[in-house]
Amino acid sequence: MTTDVRKDSSMELQKAMLARHYERLGRADEDGHPTAYTFVPGNLTELLLSFDLLPVLPEINALQNAMRKKSAGYIGLAEKSGHSEDVCTYVKCDIGMARSGNVGPTGHRLPKPSVLLLSYTGCFTFLKWFELLQQEYDCPIAMLHTPYQGEGRPTPSMIEYMVRQLREKVIPHLEAVSGRAFDPDRLAYHLELSARSEDLFVRVLESAKHRPSPIDAYFGGVYYISPIFTAFRGTPEALAYYEALWEEVEERRRQGLGPITPDGEMGVERYRVVVEGPPCWTNFRDLWKMFADEGAVVVASTYTRVGGIYDGGFRHDPARPLESLAEYCLGCYTNLNLPSRTEMIARQVRDYQADGFLINSIKSCNSFSAGQLLILREVERRTGVPGGFFESDLVDPRYFSGANVKNRLESYFQMVQQKRAAPARTAR
């Protein structure tokens, strides 16, 4: 019996794009192609591409290794070398991979970074992570400090502060490692492609407002976000992907079809839910199937906003290139304060007509997990729909209990069903 997740054609296209990227990375040293290691939230992909730097994203390496059941060994190696069990498991997986020859999830040896570009600091762990990688690789590091949105919005002084850093610190670093002068026109070209992809991506996300939803915005959504959140944003390849994805999603909507699940076509859409928090990558298929078996479709999720809140109106702007990059970094989901996150989830519940919302609390990710119980109670109060809570981890299989998660989900959906039935019993 196969355990593969069944994929629609856009998912296969995304998988092929990622495979080609890892192949390029595997040839980077031989080709003399410089690389930049960076993170998903607030990444400056368009700027890197304008210098012909190949992006490498450690989070993506870690989650890909987890989905291929390789992460446990890497985490164990990092812990044996002194890293605590409480450290972010993305970090430990990445350190373990580096110390095992830096062979990526597809089997290609990844190149040593030409530069480490830390362009987002909403997660304190990112700072320590790149300190560790700088020790591992003995390479240059550039930092773009992103102020936290403590008051719930970016201010002009924040944007000015970040633009100054880009001009005076980041761009000179990238010029030095790439051997290329900064080309504003080339950056504008990539930003224009980004904006066009972002328009299409928002259409895909908002298609879930239909009944039945033609997409799953959490499990299917992790495939949809990959090109726009990682190494492809600002490329013709990404734009072609989102054009194909939108055609596919629109066709499913016209036919009245729900999303693809691990076992094939979705049956009856029994529950519409919003999910807060990242997936558990080591047991991704198992968790997806638990939702699908209940007839539950995730119509919106916070994780699909972690690399950019495009449905909030933001677009990369080629007419304001550096200001646009600053605004992007400032607006990532985990750079928002708790009231802003709470309002976003409540709005998703209302706009997508969800029956409830669920929180996946990640053991080793404080950026997501801090304040989640407060968010749960406040969203319940504002929307009147029930919230639920289960626990797992990013890439450490020791912290996923399938039986426990399944019991919690079954109990939660039973509660939703009972709340639905309650008014009818009262009327009688």
Helical segments of 166-256, H only = 171-178, 184-206, 221-229, 236-255
333 has a pLDDT exceeding 80: yes
User: How far is Cα 343 from Cα 194, in angstroms, rounded to an integer?
Assistant: 27
Q: Which amino acid is at 283?
A: N
Q: How confident is the model at residue 382 (pLDDT cuts 50, 70, 90)?
A: very high
Give tens-digit pLDDT for 185-234: 999 999 999 999 999 999 999 999 999 999 999 999 999 999 999 999 99
pLDDT at 428 over 50: no
The stretch 36-41 carries a mean pLDDT of 94
Mean pLDDT within 363-368:
86
- Angle of helix 89-98 versus helix 71-80 axis, rounded to 10: 90
Residue 255, CA distances (Å) to 88, 203, 265, 292 in order: 43, 17, 12, 20
Do 314 and 308 form a contact (C-beta atoms < 8 A)? Answer: yes
The yes-or-no verdict on residue 59 having pLDDT over 50 is: yes
pLDDT greater than 90 at residue 56? yes
Q: What residues are paired with 276 via a beta bridge?
A: 359
Would you state the pLDDT for residue 287?
A: 97
Q: What is the pTM of this model?
A: 0.94
Give the whole-angstrom CA distance, residue 230 versus residue 38: 9
pLDDT attached to residue 49: 98
Lowest-confidence segment of 188-202, 244-258, 344-358, 364-378 by average pLDDT: 364-378
Domain membership flag for residue 136: yes
CA distance 44 to 171: 11
CATH of the domain at 44: 3.40.50.11890
Residue 339 falls inside a structural domain: no
Check residue 165 and give its pLDDT: 97
Token pair 């368009």: residue: 46
User: 427 falls in which pLDDT band (50, 70, 90)?
Assistant: very low
Q: Is residue 272 situated within a structural domain?
A: no
Note the pLDDT tens digit of each residue in 240-291.
999 999 999 999 999 999 999 988 889 899 999 999 999 999 999 999 999 9
Q: CB–CB of 177/150 below 8 Å?
A: no
Of 293, 324, 331, 287, residue with least CA distance to 309: 331
Q: Tell me the per-residue pLDDT of 390-421, one tens digit each, with 9 for 90 and over.
A: 999 999 999 999 999 999 999 999 999 998 88
For residue 360, give both structure tokens. 């996946």
Confidence at residue 425, expressed as pLDDT on a 0 to 100 scale: 45
In one-letter notation, the amino acid at residue 193 is: L
Tokens of 306: 């972690």
Mean pLDDT of 7-25: 88
- pLDDT, residue 121, reads 62
> Whole-angstrom Cα distance, residue 428 to residue 417?
18
Share of the chain above pLDDT 90, in %: 82
DSSP type of residue 126: H
Helix (H) or strand (E) holding 69: none
Q: How big is the CA angle at 94 (ends 89 and 99), to the nearest 5 degrees?
A: 125
How many structural domains does the chain have? 1
pLDDT greater than 60 at residue 137: yes
Residue listed under structure tokens 């944003």: 233
CA pair distance 163, 369, nearest whole angstrom: 30
Average pLDDT of the segment spanning 98-109: 92
> What's the mean pLDDT when you consider all of the chain?
93
- Taking the mean position of all CA atoms in its chain, how far away is CA 265? 25
Segments forming the whole domain that contains residue 150 = 19-187
Q: Encode pLDDT of 156-167 as tens digits.
A: 999 999 999 999
Has residue 5 got a pLDDT over 60?
Answer: no
In a domain, 401, yes or no: no
State the pLDDT at residue 7: 64
Contact 394, 362 (CB under 8 A): yes
Instruction: Give the span between the Cα atoms of 317 and 332, in whole angstroms.
Output: 16
The answer, yes or no, to whether residue 40 has pLDDT greater than 70, is yes
Instruction: Give domain status of residue 165, yes or no.
Output: yes
**Residue 176 covered by a domain:** yes
Q: What is the DSSP letter of 118?
A: E
Residue 112 lies in a domain: yes
- pLDDT the model gives residue 423: 60
Confidence class of residue 6 from pLDDT cuts 50, 70 and 90?
low
Is residue 180 domain-resident? yes
Query: In which band, very low, low, confident or very high, does the pLDDT at 1 lie, cut at 50, 70 and 90?
Result: very low
Measured CA angle at 33 (ends 29, 38), to 5 deg:
95
Q: Span 310-315, mean pLDDT? A: 95
Phi/psi of residue 142, each to 5°?
Answer: -120, 140
